[in-house]
Amino acid sequence: MDLFSSEKIKNILPFDGVTNYHGIVLDKNQCDFFYQKLFETIEWKNDEAIIFGKKIITKRKVAWYGISEFSYKYSGVTKTANIFTKELLELKEVVEKESGETYNSCLLNLYHSGEEGMAYHSDGEKMLKKNGAIASLSLGAERKFSFKHKENKQRIDIILERGSLLVMREFTQTNWLHRLPPTKMVFTPRINLTFRTIEL
Ligand SMILES: O=C(O)CCC(=O)C(=O)O
Ligand SMILES: [Fe+2]
């Protein structure tokens, strides 16, 4: 990404963070191709998390991939990453070019319908590079995505289109929560990829 184009991509947060919505970066054919490939080849697992000391299993499916089989802790559970597939490496390249950053891992989420979402959180795990960029690529159904400021509770909503890229940067995770709200208006599945940098 050159300086000129980065200036044109606006920050959707009013203060205390930088989050750039790059719009659609994959055309319809690329979206269809990658959606199908990922759906079929990724090692999808139901997510296990410890919430308030209780083990829960989510309907949403998840998978971690990376440049090596690093182990990571996610919501209190230790797991081992899979090695990037060919398609994930291709998508990583697209996202790196567009965002002007590099990434060494990717968390994938599969939401079977609008009834599945993700609650408010920030991605501040210790293993992540501090204030590193997190690049979120969306395939399948279009969904609303919301930010909420941790102190003043201000909300910012955005629609994540099919094939779009959203890049959360700088102090976004420190000051803002984000979520994927469940909805009764969406009946088709969505795959989201968040490319991240883990301190290996
Ligand atoms: O599905 C999304 O758009 C966001 C997922 C997310 O926030 C995460 O994986 O940390
Ligand atoms: Fe997140």
* Homologous superfamily of 3-196: Alpha-ketoglutarate-dependent dioxygenase AlkB-like (2.60.120.590)
pLDDT at 55: 85
Closest residue by CA, ligand 1 atom 1? 192
Confidence of residue 64 (pLDDT cuts 50, 70, 90): very high
194 CB near ligand 1 (under 6 Å): yes
Confidence of residue 51 (pLDDT cuts 50, 70, 90): confident
In sign, the C-alpha dihedral spanning 90, 158, 152, 121 is negative
Q: Which of 127, 69, 67 is nearest to 103 (CA)?
A: 67
Confidence of residue 4 (pLDDT cuts 50, 70, 90): very low
Compute, in angstroms, the gap from residue 118 CA to the centroid of ligand 2.
Answer: 8
Output the average pLDDT for the chain.
93
pLDDT digits (tens, 9 = 90+) for 150-160: 999 999 999 99
pLDDT at 75: 67
- Reported ipTM: the value is 0.99
* Coarse DSSP helix, strand, coil percentages of the chain, rounded to the nearest 5 percent: 20, 45, 35
Query: Rounded CA gap, 13 and 147, in Å?
Result: 8
138 beta partners? 192
pLDDT digits (tens, 9 = 90+) for 82-140: 999 999 999 999 999 999 999 999 999 999 999 999 999 999 888 888 889 999 999 99
Domain boundaries, the chain: 3-196
> In the predicted model, what is the mean pLDDT of residues 166-171?
97
Compute, in angstroms, the gap from residue 157 CA to the centroid of ligand 1.
Answer: 14
Task: Give the number of whichever ligand sits closest to the CA of residue 121.
Answer: 2
Q: Which atom of ligand 1 is nearest to the CA of 192?
A: 1
- DSSP state for residue 129 in the 8-state scheme: P
107 CB near ligand 1 (under 6 Å): yes
